[in-house]
């Protein structure tokens, strides 16, 4: 066979690349129909390259972490449930996005599989719903829609103001002179194995006692009266959700107007609320947030995602001071005995690439 034909035959017919996400603010609000402001992570992605051969789904990967095969199978099942075609695929997964770091590698994997085995363009919402159903109903992780919505709506240089009641997303321009510094605590968190499910159940119990479908219905102004109706712990859970919903638009506006003080204050309050009211932080995460907040040029820092480990996000003026960041990691290692990893990033597209036979979808 002439070499040009050989290389043609080896061309992947399917090429998909999907980013992870970080949440700037609005955590533990999605499953109570609330607000959040996430973005897709430029440069931290998961790829699937493959050929449409065989009659099933065969994926190989060097990815660390268990159980990713279950995610892939769950996505195929969820596509079929939605009466969407599942094409055969023999593919390879590769990633710069770390697994089990709280940066939504599982949502990125689910979306990448959906994009790789279904070769018609779906609406962002349908795509997110199919993958969310795969993860919650079929894999059994009790997550909300934040991760999938963050990725499918992710645009370069924009965060997404998500409303999880309307399932809508509005792009919010990201300031040109700010980067996101993401630091992983070295503590991996599996949603199922932590307090996530318990926190979610507590918010549901609070909603039931207050006679509302979701805590989104409780306004800031009604908070004190509502807290009186609840046992102390459920009251704190409620206060976190209600105050976090109020902070999200404040941060969106502060990004637009360049109000750094308001930004920093809202991020710090969110971190305190997740720690004190939601009991979702850890001493390591608190230490990282504190060290990062003291960096030169840092506008604000908070934990990001579900908590109980995972990552802290800091908004930092460019150029980020790499030597100062090295010092943060050294201090963290001395005080906790753990190795932190960091990435300096900005919002990128959530769906970086989706090509079937050279035809680009989602462009």
CA nearest 29: which of 273, 227, 240?
240
Residue in 147, 202, 269, 279 binding ligand GLA, rule: CB under 6 A: 147
Please identify, among the stretches 93-101, 141-149, 221-229, 251-259, the one whose residues bind ligand GLA according to the rule CB under 6 A: 141-149
What's the min distance (Å) between Cβ of 245 and ligand GLA?
Answer: 12
Please identify, among the stretches 5-13, 144-152, 271-279, 323-331, the one whose residues bind ligand GLA according to the rule CB under 6 A: 144-152
Residue in 12, 98, 154, 306 binding ligand GLA, rule: CB under 6 A: 306
Q: Name the pairing type of β-strands 341-345 and 359-360.
A: unpaired
Q: Which of residues 162-221 bind ligand GLA (CB under 6 A)?
A: 191
Instruction: Note whether 31 binds ligand GLA by CB under 6 A.
Output: yes
The site that binds ligand GLA (CB under 6 A) totals a number of residues, namely: 12
Shorter beta-carbon distance to ligand GLA: residue 164 or 287: 164
Q: Which of 27, 30, 119, 147 is catalytic?
A: 147
Instruction: Note whether 279 binds ligand GLA by CB under 6 A.
Output: no
Residue in 34, 305, 309, 350 binding ligand GLA, rule: CB under 6 A: 305
State how far the Cα of 234 lies from the Cα of 182, in Å rounded to an integer. Answer: 30
Shorter beta-carbon distance to ligand GLA: residue 98 or 144: 144
For residue 228, what are the CA distances in angstroms to 121, 245, 330?
49, 20, 45
Instruction: Note whether 146 binds ligand GLA by CB under 6 A.
Output: yes
* Known catalytic residue at 90: no
Please identify, among the stretches 28-36, 117-125, 180-188, 345-353, the one whose residues bind ligand GLA according to the rule CB under 6 A: 28-36
What's the min distance (Å) between Cβ of 253 and ligand GLA?
Answer: 21
Please identify, among the stretches 45-53, 77-85, 117-125, 139-147, the one whose residues bind ligand GLA according to the rule CB under 6 A: 139-147
Shorter beta-carbon distance to ligand GLA: residue 28 or 158: 28
Instruction: Note whether 244 binds ligand GLA by CB under 6 A.
Output: no
Shorter beta-carbon distance to ligand GLA: residue 31 or 175: 31
CB 37 within 8 A of CB 252: yes
Q: Name the pairing type of β-strands 89-95 and 57-61.
A: parallel
Shorter beta-carbon distance to ligand GLA: residue 147 or 277: 147
Report the 3 state secondary structure along the chain.
Answer: CCHHHHHHHHCCCEEEEEEEEEECCCCCCHHHCCEECEEEEEEEEEEEEEECCCCCEEEEECCCCCCHHHHHHHHHHHHHHCCCCCCCEEEEEEECCCCCCCCCHHHHHHHHHHHHHCCCCCCHHHHHHHHHHHHHHHHCCCCCCHHHHHHHHCECCEEEEEECCCCEEEEEECCCCEEEEEEECCCCCCHHHCCHHHHHHHHHHHHHHHCCCCHHHCCHHHHHHHHHCCCHHHHHHHHHHHHHHHHHHHHHHHHHHCCHHHHHHHHHHHHHHHHHHCCCCCHHHHHHHHHHHCCCCEEEEEEECCCCCCEEEEEEECCCCHHHHHHHHHHHHHHHCCCCEEEEECECCCEEEEEECCEECCC
Instruction: Note whether 119 binds ligand GLA by CB under 6 A.
Output: no
Instruction: Note whether 15 binds ligand GLA by CB under 6 A.
Output: no
What's the min distance (Å) between Cβ of 339 and ligand GLA?
Answer: 22
Which sequence positions are flagged as catalytic? 147
**Binding site residues, ligand GLA, CB under 6 A:** 23, 27-28, 30-31, 143-144, 146-147, 191, 305-306
């Amino acid at each position: 066979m002439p070499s040009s034909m050989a290389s043609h035959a080896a061309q992947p017919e399917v090429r998909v690349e999907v980013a992870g996400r970080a949440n700037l603010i609005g955590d533990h609000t999605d499953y109570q129909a609330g607000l959040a402001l996430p973005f897709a992570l430029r440069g931290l992605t998961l790829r699937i390259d493959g050929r449409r051969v065989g009659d099933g789904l065969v994926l190989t990967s060097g990815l660390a972490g268990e159980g990713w095969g279950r995610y892939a199978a769950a996505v195929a099942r969820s596509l079929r449930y939605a009466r969407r075609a599942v094409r055969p695929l023999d593919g390879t997964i590769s990633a710069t996005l770390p697994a089990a770091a709280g940066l939504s590698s599982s949502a990125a994997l689910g979306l990448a599989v959906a994009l790789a085995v279904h070769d018609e363009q779906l609406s962002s919402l349908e795509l997110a719903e199919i993958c969310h159903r795969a993860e919650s109903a079929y894999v059994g992780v009790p997550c909300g829609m934040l991760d999938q919505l963050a990725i499918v709506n992710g645009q370069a240089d924009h965060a997404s103001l998500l409303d999880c009641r309307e399932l809508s997303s509005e792009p919010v321009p990201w300031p040109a002179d700010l980067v996101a510094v993401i630091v992983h605590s070295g503590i991996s968190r599996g949603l199922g194995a932590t307090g996530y499910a318990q926190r979610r159940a507590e918010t549901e119990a609070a909603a039931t006692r207050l006679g509302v479908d979701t805590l989104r219905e409780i306004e800031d102004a009604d908070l004190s009266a509502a807290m009186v109706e609840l046992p102390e712990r459920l009251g704190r859970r409620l206060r976190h959700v209600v105050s976090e919903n109020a902070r999200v638009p404040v941060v969106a506006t502060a990004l637009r107007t360049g109000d750094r003080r308001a930004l920093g204050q809202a991020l710090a309050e969110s971190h305190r609320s997740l720690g004190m009211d939601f009991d979702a932080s850890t001493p390591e995460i608190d230490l990282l947030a504190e060290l990062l907040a003291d960096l030169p040029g840092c506008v604000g820092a908070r934990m990001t995602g579900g908590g109980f480990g995972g990552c802290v996000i800091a908004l930092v003026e460019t150029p980020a001071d790499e030597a100062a960041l090295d010092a943060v990691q050294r201090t963290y290692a001395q005080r906790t005995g753990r190795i932190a990893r960091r990435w300096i990033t900005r919002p990128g597209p959530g769906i970086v690439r989706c090509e079937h036979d050279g035809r680009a979808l989602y462009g």
